[in-house]
Structure 1
Amino acid sequence: MSMAEAQTRTTELPEVADPSRVAPQDARELSKLFFQQLAILEEGTPEHQYARNTLIEMNMSLVRFAAGRFRSRGPEEMEDIVQVGMIGLIKAIDRFELSREVEFTSFAIPYIVGEIKRFFRDTTWAVHVPRRLQEARVQLARATEELRSRLGRTPTVKELSELMSLPEEEVREARLAANGYNSSSLDATINGSEDGEAALQDFIGTPDTDLELVEDFHALAPLIAELEQRDRQIIHMRFVEELTQAQIGERLGVSQMHVSRLLSRTLARLREGMLTTS
């Protein structure tokens, strides 16, 4: 397409007075039009910049949604979180292609959440703590809250160890590691703890599991879209229709063993994609 044709097409873009106030449903439809134009406009031109800036402002609600899980943090830190999330949104806009045949929302959320998670990994810990213990801290917080709701008291290390399927020593290490999350006093413990080691950080700011489920869904959507037709079909039959491997094999005309190999390969690819995204 010539530059003249591209400029003619540019005039089709609607004027959006305040993109940040466009309703999410309208933003989805308008975004498709703007992405079509962005793909044919020359980078660096005023038209290209207008389309890109409008896309950023129209989809800021995605950043606010992703940042919502951290609403228990102070206003100043929330401002930083939103700014970091905006970086993820911009990366998603610059890398999105309509040919992917996935909704931009599904494509952008993993980028936004990924940037926020990297921000916390890089800046939140007051001292260096191994990644294994950082992850154990989150697991510990969930297990502590679950047992505290069930038992009506603070759980012991032994009870946490059984629920988390971890040795008691690793549970203690995770509790100690939580003291490195913020630069607060190491003596700040929760009253009523039986062994006196439970830090305040173990009991506050636990992740919203419902939002995490939404994030996982959005992260998986573009990965599944990239699979071959047969692999997507197998995933659908196994996890949506809940068919056994033998039943899937009968439908596809292959052996159960072959279905097992295909399923294992596909799940490994999806897991790798999820880890790369996060």
Structure 2
Amino acid sequence: MSGAETVQAQQEEPRDEAVEQVGIDSPDAAMQAAAPVSPHAERRAETMRIFQRMRKLPPGDPERERLRAEVIEDHMAYARRIASRYGGHGEVVEDFVQVAYLGLVKAVDNFDPEHGTGFLGYATPMIMGEIKRYFRDATWDVHVPRRMQELSSALRKATEALTQELGRSPSIAELADRVKATPEEVVEAMDAASAYTTASLDRPVRVDSSEGASLAEFVGGEDPRFDAVVNREVLKPLLAKLGERDKRILMMRFFRNMTQSQIGEELNVSQMQVSRLLTRILDELRAGFE
């Protein structure tokens, strides 16, 4: 490989990493995210048929309520999947799930099948909007000082150690002595940590004949197909907002597998300009996922 080719390869390589940060691992994955997935087509069609039937029924009609409940139930797993994306901030994921369900219900109640938009395309931004509003109005108002966070972590370790040493739960005074803090600070740290405590998957539960089972046995596994659906529905409106040249650049780069130099020749711009354009476009798409 010549020196010029090496430089070009080094310049073009990071762009694929940027694509991965947006949630697209390859041109094939980008195509799957942007295009409809055929196995779900019948389900989408059935959902639209249900909404059409609901429109013909008056509010309060038992059949309308039954159909409404059916749509909500059918899409709860989808709403939960969106909520799980926001669970890495220290808050309890289940809180986000409940907020996502609220957004789903609002979407079902306000969706108009005559507007030409698919239900998921309408519901996805509404569900995400509810979660982001929850972040703004509730979660972000709670500030835990770093000192309390560190003390909370130390208390967890001290509690485990003292419980083993003493054969019982330690007192506040014993914990304070172990972590070199005042009893008041220990109580404050415990209060701060309570909002971030989740149930252990090893916790024993008793459900009829399942005595002795752990919580983990009742938690379903993740279906990777939900990620593809969520990515596709989130990308649709983001791609629609792009200008024609930006769409053309994405098409050439990720669907036609053209190099930045080849794109530059077709657009009559330099490879460096193409690199900057791709970076800007991908940054815009990435921002839509946050």
Question: How does the TM-score come out when normalised to structure 2?
Answer: 0.43
Higher relative contact order (CA 8 A, sep 6+): 2
Give the greater-gyration-radius structure (CA): 2
